[in-house]
Amino acid sequence: GNLVGKNCQSFIVCVEYQILIIYLNIMEESMEANNEKIHQMKVLVEKLREASKAYYAQDREIMSNLEYDALYDELLTLEQETGMVLAGSPTISVGYEAVDELPKEAHESPMLSLDKTKEREALKDWLGDKDGLLSWKLDGLTIVLTYQNGELLKAVTRGNGEVGEVITNNAKVFKNIPLKIQFQGELILRGEAVITYHDFKEINSHIEDVEAKYKNPRNLCSGSVRQLNNQITAERNVRFYAFALVKADGVDFENSREKQFEFLTNQGFDIVAYVKVNTDSIVAAVSDYEERVQTYEVPSDGLVLIYDDIAYGRSLGRTSKFPRDSIAFKWADEIRETTLKEIEWSPSRTGLINPVAIFEPVELEGTTVSRASVHNISILKALKLGIGDKITVYKANMIIPQIAENLTRSENIEIPSVCPVCGGATEIRAVNEVQSLYCSNSNCDAKKIKSFTHFVGRDAMNIDGLSEATLEKFIAKGFIHQYQDIFHLDRYKSDIVAMEGFGERSYKKLINSIETARDVELPKLIFSLGIANIGLANAKVICRFYDFNLESLRCATVEELAMIDGIGEVIAKAFVDYFSNEENNKRFDNLLAEIRIQKEEINAEEQTLEGKTFVITGNLNHFGSRNELKDLIEKKGGKVAGSVSSKTLCLINNDSTSNSSKNKKAKELNVSIVTEEEFMKAYLNMEV
């Protein structure tokens, strides 16, 4: 009996041990799986944050809407499975960080995103037995307006939902914002700043270079609203449509959102177009909007549904990201099937070689589309792209062509081992686990794009029609290797005319601009070379010192140049080093064969500002720009510096009471601050 008992006991211990081992293995596997999920969450958070930052703060796109939504949903699923939410997750944060150029201000109440759906029945279920207001979801920049005593007090962008950018001066020049209203209490409302398709096309029609044209109305609007100079904002025809009333002291709205809209309309605001709906009418109303969006002049990327009953909506509360009293409906993208013809590899100034999909042309959102960026090697591999594959394409936000899906997935694309521009070896690099293709040749012509962009700039050779993006294309095709090649682009007429977005008219304007640029002033020519620390002002000073004699310039010594006021040894050495380089001189001689230097005649009697240094800041009333005033000062022998110092004679600023850093510095150094008019009278002998 004892033996049996001992055997049973041993058996039980053995079984318990085996169970423990199995349990530990399961736990280990579970922990490994959980760790993998957490790692994937970190990757997704970083990707989504970068995409949001690019889209909202930098007005560019690094991934498609479909890809963003898919990654967002994947992250949300992982958070639900793990019960964890990482810091900085886009599921609990909204918007973008305000940029430093504009003052920042915290919102009185957080501005949240909206939960979304693409299903019409989901809208119906969400609304239930309540009445709702269905309106456009406008695609622009969200703005908060505050009025006090009947006047516009301030305007602030949405920013990151907690802190926005103060753009009051810009809002005052929006086309349809009332600066004064009848209501005298404190009024706070939210709305969308937008630029209509008509104005967007009109603005783009005046930009000849296709690569310099604005990509979509939202990006144009975002940049227009956040300008430091509101004259630019005024020229862009920005409009404001109110979509929410936040506060109106002492007004009874009878618990109705619709009454709030009526109140705002009576105050002179344009409100977002809406219709009142219930469970029986919601689906038909969405269909009606879907038909109207095809011809609607204001950019819209969906609809918004909100409960008309204010108290009921507020009683639902909110999540960390979404209010529960409203929901967004996103339009389903128009998707077309086509055939992939080739992958074009496009080098850039950073060495990055971007894959671009070329496919059989299809009609999307009213335009013919035949190419779409694939962005990087990771996306190329994920799509398993191959020549001849059947793919589906769409336009993100009805603007930017993207590949939605690869139906064939033959995966036969060969990644080039050499750069298409210089023939140098390529390499795949992973940054944040995203693989991209790079040219490894540090002397690749494509990497010299910045020097060419500088060369054709307005203050240099001033050649219109050669944006950075266009230069990249020309360099990639082998049209440009050195500066002088720009003056022989007529050799590639047929190729250029056939390029997307160019045509005969754009080509002629480019060639005319190049011919005009052959006549150039010496300071601009010197500045165009991109010599370290040699700005246009320094180039002018050096040219004057040598009486605009080019050979004297090329033979200058460090000792001579260092004697010039404002030049110094560092700048002098950079200048002398440039012209001591045999290769630089060879390229410069080649360039000289293409141009005609216009000698600037100096009237000694007009050099009334010689030896005097000025600083200009703020907006001007009598000159088109600061550069215009700067040129006039320099022609009279003066110098315009970028910062106030003890050598500054005076600071030109129409707002002497501002707290700008230049004003503070001028007061510290006892440098006089004069208005534009005072300067013109005292130093230019001009009557104002």
* Catalytically active residues, by annotation: 137
Strand order across the 151-157 sheet: 151-157, 141-148, 187-194, 239-248
Round to whole Å and give the CA distance between 602 and 597: 15
CA distances from 188 to 147, 271, 327 (A): 6, 14, 22
Contacts by 169-172, CB closer than 8 A, 24 or more apart: 169/230, 170/224, 170/225, 170/226, 170/227, 170/230, 170/233, 170/238, 171/143, 171/145, 171/225, 171/240, 172/230
Q: Which residues, 6 or more positions from 432, have their beta carbon under 8 angstroms from its beta carbon?
A: 43, 46, 47, 50
Sign of the Cα pseudo-torsion (551, 553, 558, 563, in order):
positive
CA–CA distance, 404 with 364 (Å, rounded to integer)? 13
CB 230 within 8 A of CB 161: no
CA distances from 42 to 76, 94, 169 (A): 12, 17, 40
Measured distance between the N- and C-terminal CA atoms of the chain, rounded to whole angstroms: 121
Helix (H) or strand (E) segment spanning residue 137 = strand 132-138
- Both tokens of 660, joined, read 């700008």
What is the DSSP track for 181-198?
-S--S-EEEEEEEE--HH
How far apart are alpha carbons 565 and 515 in whole angstroms? 36
Residue with tokens 């995203």: 434
**CB-CB neighbours of 310 under 10 Å:** 18
The CA distance from 465 to 487, in Å, is 13
Phi, psi at 374, each rounded to 5°? -100, -10
- The Cα-based distances of 38 to 25, 68, 73, 79, 434 in angstroms read 20, 19, 15, 9, 18
CA distance 444 to 350: 10
Backbone angles phi, psi at 572, to 5 degrees: -60, -45
Contact between residue 372 and residue 309 where contact means Cβ atoms under 8 Å apart? no
Q: Which amino acid is at 410?
A: S
305 φ/ψ angles, rounded to the nearest 5 degrees: -115, 125
Q: Which residue, among 142, 105, 113, has the nearest Cα to 242 in the 3D structure?
A: 142
CB-based contact 631:609 (threshold 8 Å): no
Do strands 639-641 and 434-439 pair parallel, antiparallel, or not at all (unpaired)? Answer: unpaired
- Say if CB 152 and CB 168 are below 8 A apart: yes
The DSSP bridge pattern shows strands 163-165 and 104-106 to be: antiparallel
CA dihedral sign of residues 454, 457, 459, 460: positive
Beta carbons of 407 and 337 less than 8 angstroms apart: yes
